[in-house]
Structure formats: C-alpha cells, structure tokens
Amino acid sequence: MNTYLPKRIAVLIGAQAAGANMLAVEMDLQSQEQFLLSVNGGAWYQHEIKIFNNDPFFVIASYIQHIQADYVYIYFSGHGFSYSMNERYLCVGGQDSIMDYQLAKLAPCSKVRLVCDCCRTRLSKPGTIGGINRATNRWREAAGINRARANFDRYIIASPPGIQIIHAIGDASAALENAAGHGGEFTLALMEVINDLQLSGSDFILTPEATIYLTTKKLYEKGIRRQYPAFFNEEGKLQIPIAQISSEYTIPQQQKTYHQWHPQKETGDAILAAAVILGLCVILSD
C-alpha cells in the first residue's frame, strides 16, 4: 500500500533598507531555518527550505510562482507598513513593496501560511525590523524526528485549503525590538512560549488562536502591554499547526480539540477576551 507524502516548501525572506545593518535579519533567517528543521517546527528537510537574504523582488516572486507543493510556509523579516487595517504591505527586495496577501497568493498552492515580523505603521511612520532569537540545541537534539515529520505531514494532508497570515502587531502599530538587540519581541515571545510548553511536560499543538493568545500573554508578562499580534484567514481555514510539542507524537485523529475562538476584528478587547477560552491549545490525548 502506497502512502502519499505531501510536498512542502518553506520560503524565508529577509529584507532591509539599503545600507542598513542586516545582522538582525540574518539571525531571523538562521533561527527560522533551525526551527523548521526541529521536531517542534515539523522536521522539515534541508532541501525544502529556500532562503532569500535581501534578494531582488522579481527573483523571490519568480521562485514562489513556480513552487509545486501541497503546503507553502513563508516567513518575512524586514520593514512593513499599512494604508489601512486591510492594506498591509511588506518591503520585499529593496524599494519594492507588496501586500502581504498578494505575496501569499503568488504561491500556486491551496495551503499557504505567511508569518510577518514587521511593522504595520502607517506609511508616514518609520518601520522596525523584526527578529527571532537563535533556536536552542535541545530542539535539534529532540528524539522522534521521523515520527514528528510524519505527524506534520498528516496535518498538511488533513487541513482544508486556506491562506493564513500572521502579523507580529495590530493595525497602525510598530513591532517592538528587544532592548538588548536580540530581535523582535513577538518572535522572541513565540520561541519562549514554545520553550515553556516543552518544559511543561505536556503535549500541545500550537494553533494560530493559541499563538495569538499565548504570545500576547507572554509579552504582557515581560512588561510589553501594547503589542497585540493578529492573524487573518484570508481564504478558507488553514488548520496546520504553528508548532507541535510532544515526546510521543500521535496522528491528528487521536487528538481532542478544544479551541473554538476565532477573532473577527483586531482590537485589544478581542484578544483579551480569548483569555476565557482555556482550550486555545490542542491537548493531545493521554
């Protein structure tokens, strides 16, 4: 009996204004790569990850347009701005800019996730580059790499089609940088959340809803009270997890799902209301 193995491609994009320091963006790309290779990130293979570091937009666009895959994951670190809540732009490839949704739509694929660590300030305000801290060795050393990859493949197959976009910050706001220069506070918080879940001894599937709630909570604990991440289901309803944390991986059908909250608008009240939903994470069956 032949088992279908879904094809997945990750595109990591780093872009910075000409003449600016690219160190933070380079760290982002390295850390995202390490995370994807880990069991928590889905145990991707090296050849499935394509990295663009300040490349021209037409080169990036051409690559994405020719992808043949079941699932495409795009990560962007750089400058961003917006004209309105629904007009969110990424500065990809020097002076070129493109709406986040249009970038995701370049992929000829029915299942696409775009994660952006960048500002959404109005055009007249300065941008801030995002960042993510380096992945820890324990991710790379975790056992069960083949089982983790097989489990993530099942999520790709089982998920309905959809285009989903995750932003580090709400409308008309700047994504904050870590004061010590370690990168963007959103992705630092996300990595800390994943570490916390690992250390908890429990098994979790980190959904987009859980990601928004837990990273907002983590930012609040760190004294950052005005950064509210957001996500958008632009098309369909993608159900591929952000991360999987488990020592004993099980197939999706064996899981109990508790999350029901789906944000309808971007407000602090909407995000804080999620606190009453205790099942934002998918807890695996014992």
Segment 102-131, tens digit of pLDDT: 999 999 999 999 999 888 888 643 333 333
* pLDDT confidence of residue 184: 74
**pLDDT, position 203:** 87
Average pLDDT, the chain: 78
What's the CA gap between 76 and 127, in Å, rounded?
14
Question: Which of 229, 53, 24 lies closest to 129, judged by CA?
Answer: 24
Name the more confident of 271 and 90: 90
pLDDT of residue 56: 92
Tell me the pLDDT band of 286, cut-offs 50, 70 and 90. very low
Predicted TM-score (pTM) of the model is 0.80
Q: 128: helix, coil or strand? A: coil
Kindly tell me if the per-residue pLDDT of 68 is higher than 60: yes
CA 135 and chain centroid, separation: 14
Amino acid (one-letter) located at 161: P
Contact 281/210 with Cβ under 8 angstroms? yes
Q: What average pLDDT score do residues 24-29 get?
A: 79
The rounded distance, in Å, linking the Cα atoms of 273 and 286 is 29
**Chain segment 204-243, per-residue pLDDT in tens:** 899 999 999 999 999 999 999 888 999 999 999 999 999 9
Residue-wise pLDDT tens digits, 160-200: 999 999 999 999 988 887 776 667 788 888 888 988 887 78
Q: Which residue has the higher pLDDT, 5 or 189?
A: 5
Alpha helices for the chain (secondary structure H):
23-37, 57-65, 100-105, 137-141, 145-158, 185-200, 208-221, 268-273
Q: Is the pLDDT of residue 136 over 80?
A: no
* Cβ contact 190:241 at 8 Å: no
